[in-house]
Structures are given as C-alpha cells and as structure tokens.
Amino acid sequence: MSTDSKRWVAGHVAALPKSGIRDFFELVAKMKGQDVISLGVGEPDFVTPWNIREAAIFALERGKTYYTSNLGLIELRRAISTYVTEHFGVDYRPDDQVIVTVGVSEALDLALRAFCNPGDKVMFHQPCYVSYHPSIALVHGQAVGVPTYARDNFALTAEALRSAWQPGCKILMLNLPCNPTGGTCDRVQLEAIAAFCREKDLLVLSDEIYSELTFEGTHTSIASLPGMAERTIFLHGFSKAFAMTGWRLGYACGPAVLIDAMMKVHQYTMLCASIIAQEAALEALTRGWDHVLKMREQYHRRRDLVVRRFNEIGLKCHSPRGSFYAFPSVAGTGRTEKEFSAGLLTEQKVAVVPGSAFGDNGIGHVRACFATSYEQLIVACDRIERFVQQPKA
C-alpha cells in the first residue's frame, strides 16, 4: 500500500497540531501497571448517581430506542428551560430556543459551524480547553487568543479583551469557570466584558459546564446580563455537575434564529442525541440536585486541601473559584512545566498535565485535577513534595 496516504488528508486537518494532552497520555500509558496516581483526568471520580442510571435502564425496558426530535425530547427541553431559569436567571422557550446536543463539545462545534464564516475571527481566552483553537481552525476561522494571568486568578479582563481585539472579530468564546485554570469572572468583571461585546457587536458562545462547581460566591451567566441574551449562546451539559461524562449530553440555548441555524447543522450531522442519555438527563434535572450539592461539597474540601498543600510545598497556586482543577505554577522549581510533569511521573508516579497543553499562557503551570479521593490526594501531594524537594537531576 502506498505510504503517502497523507495526501488524502485535508490541508486544514493535516495542519492541526496534535493535542498536547495526547503526547502526555502516551507517556502515562507507558507507566501502566505501576502505582500511578492520576491528577490528569478531566472528569469527576463519582459514578453517575444511581437514580439517573436507573432511569436510563427503565427507559430501555420500556423500549425507548428510537430517534428523538432533532432538538431533543420536548420533556427534556422543558426541564432544561426550567433549570436554566432557576439557576442562571435566563428564560428560554423549550420549543425553539433550546437544542440538546452530544455534549457541549458538539454544541460548540455546531455554533462555530453555524456562525463562523471562513476568515471570521473568533476570540477565546487562554489557557483554555484543548478543543477551542482546533474547533475554530476546523471551520476556517481565525483564532484570536486573549491571555489571562495568574495575577488575576486567571479571570478574563475586559482590558485584555480590548487589547487583543482586532477588526473582523465576530465571536467570543467563554469558558467560566475555566478548564484548566479554574478561573472565573465575578459579576463586575462580566459586566465589563458584556459592555465590550455590545460595543464591538460580538456574539458570545458561553460554555458554562463547570458553573455548578462554583465554590465561592454565586455563578453569574453572561447571558443574564442586560442586552446579552440576544447575543449569547448559552452552552451547558450534564458531564461535570451530574458526573455524566460518558453519556455525552449537553445543550445550547439562545435566540430562536441562532438555535435554528445550529439545528440545521445538527440535523444533518448528528440527527439527535442518544435517547437513553436524554432520558437519564431528564431524571438528573428533576431529581439530581441533591447529588450535585453533595459532590460539590466534596470537591470544595478537596480543593482546599490541594491548594493549601501546593502552596506549602512551594508551588504557588491560586484558589480556583470553580471547576475541579488547580493550576499551580511550577516556575519556582527551576523546571519547565513539561520537565516537571515528566519528572513527577517517572520519579514519583503522579500524573499532572503540563499547562502548555492548554495554550501559551499555561507555560510554567501544570493542571492538577482534584476529582480524586482524599486518600489519593494526600499521597499525591506528599509525593509532589518529595519531588520538589529533591535536587533537579
């Protein structure tokens, strides 16, 4: 067989860089069978609560195995609408302002495909979730990164936004609280961002997947600010709050015309999200809130533990207001984030992800996920301490 099969790969896909996470995943895979504690995951350690799993089983028993409406089950959309009103203070009509998707990842992809013309500029804050930049490249958009900094606890500031802005910017992607930094914006900061979006006529794609995991203060959705609902696609899902990552279920809410445009792409590419996952999600929204609170309380305690230990060890770490990620600086150890992560893995068998996998502003940091048991976190922190204290090889 010819070895130059590469010639079939589309240019813009061939040009996509491999995810930095992928490199590190391969390194970790080599350590298989050894007693590695992983703080490298991006998902809860809780299994989906039983009543939610049971609802899916029940749905299967009743023969719910068919397609749903492109927009998703109307009962689920009604529940989403109620949930979003109660928790985020924005009203969306279940009939035409809500679409159920295969995770927020699909919703983001739909939004970019529906709203970004080739050459349009899309702003996003860095460090950020690994898919943002590639998703923009896949729709032939131009990515415009906006830096966030440790000194601001990785909150996005309107000033940074203004200085990164250039003519042709059409869309702003937000992920608050943020994977990997745990950074988020308070209401005042969000109002400044919202004012800037109105001034520059930006469409906002607001990925609020970690919003339920806000530990201090209350989460504010940019969509709830005056004049923003009409220019915001609110993106959310079940993965993090309800521990449902593998179900792949998310949703988007926004102005009917925009949701309709996203639906067009969705109906031709995905048709609908899995009905089983939708049935489970309905149970999650109706009877899952107690579980969310219980899990949040545990994450909160784990965050306090990990952040305190990191700072004791000498890894300067801000306390993330949301999400289950700590993003300490490793600059003080005299190692780059890649050296630190690789060394920590081979010498002390703790996996963290180099911050540079999430963009240039992650250089000098590592992402440590604290969605792991207290016992494991305690041992991991002790190992990290040993690693930091021994002289650099």
DSSP string, 278-305: HHHHHHHHHH-HHHHHHHHHHHHHHHHH
Q: Tell me which stretch binds another protein (CB under 8 A): 151-159, 266-274, 319-327, 374-382.
A: 374-382
Q: What are the residues facing 367 on neighbouring strands?
A: 353
Contact between 103 and another protein by CB under 8 A: the answer reads: no
Q: Residue 98: which of 109, 113, 82 has the closest Cα?
A: 82
Give 192 or 305: the residue with its C-beta nearer to another protein: 305
Considering only residues 277-296, where is the footprint of another protein by CB under 8 A?
none
12 binds another protein (CB under 8 A): no
User: Near another protein by CB under 8 A, which window of 21-29, 94-102, 152-160, 323-331?
Assistant: 21-29
Looking at the DSSP assignment, which residues form a beta bridge with residue 145? 124
- Part of the chain binding another protein (CB under 8 A), chosen from 23-31, 75-83, 157-165, 261-269: 23-31
Residue 308 contacts another protein per CB under 8 A: yes
In the Cβ-directed half-sphere of 16, how many Cα atoms lie within 13 Å? 19
Is residue 311 a contact residue for another protein (CB under 8 A)? no
Residues 325-354 that bind another protein (CB under 8 A): 351, 353
Query: Half-sphere exposure (CA, 13 Å, Cβ side) for 25?
Result: 8
> 390: Cβ–Cβ under 8 A, 6 or more apart, which residues?
347
Task: Decide whether 29 or 188 has the Cβ nearer to another protein.
Answer: 29
Residues 6+ apart with CB under 8 A from 127: 148, 154, 178, 180, 181, 327, 355, 358, 359, 361, 362, 365
Least distance in Å: CB of 172 to another protein?
A: 21
**Cβ nearer to another protein, comparing 91 with 312:** 312
- C-alpha–C-alpha distance, residues 85 and 372, integer Å: 31
Q: Which is nearer to another protein, 261 or 379 (CB)?
A: 379
Q: What are the phi and psi torsion angles at 35 (to 5°)?
A: -80, 65
Write down the least CB distance from residue 305 to another protein, Å: 5
Residue 161 CA, distance from chain mean position: 20
Compute and round to an integer the Cα radius of gyration of the chain. Answer: 21
Given the structure tokens 């804050």, which residue do they identify? 125
Q: Does 21 bind another protein (CB under 8 A)?
A: yes
41 binds another protein (CB under 8 A): yes
Q: Is 266 helix (H, G, I), strand (E, B) or coil?
A: helix
Which of 36, 192, 256, 261 forms a contact with another protein (CB under 8 A)?
36
Instruction: Assess 16 for contact with another protein (CB under 8 A).
Output: no
Among 114, 130, 193, 273, interactor with another protein by CB under 8 A: 130
Q: Of the listed pieces 92-100, 190-198, 209-217, 301-309, which binds another protein according to CB under 8 A?
A: 301-309
Residue with tokens 């490298």: 40
Minimal distance, residue 83 CB to another protein, in Å: 25
Stretch that binds another protein, among 129-137, 155-163, 186-194, 197-205 (CB under 8 A): 129-137
Binding mask 143-182 for another protein (x = CB under 8 A): ------------------------------------x---
Q: Please give the residues from 49 up to 88 whose contact with another protein meets the rule CB under 8 A.
A: none
Query: What secondary structure does DSSP assign to 11-40, as a single string?
Result: HHHHTSPPPHHHHHHHHHHTTTTS-PEE--
Packed helices 103-115 and 256-269: angle between N→C axes, nearest 10 degrees: 110
Question: Which residues sit at the interface with another protein, rule CB under 8 A?
Answer: 19, 21, 24-25, 28-29, 36, 38, 40-43, 45, 47, 129-131, 179, 298, 301-302, 304-305, 308-309, 351, 353, 373-375, 378
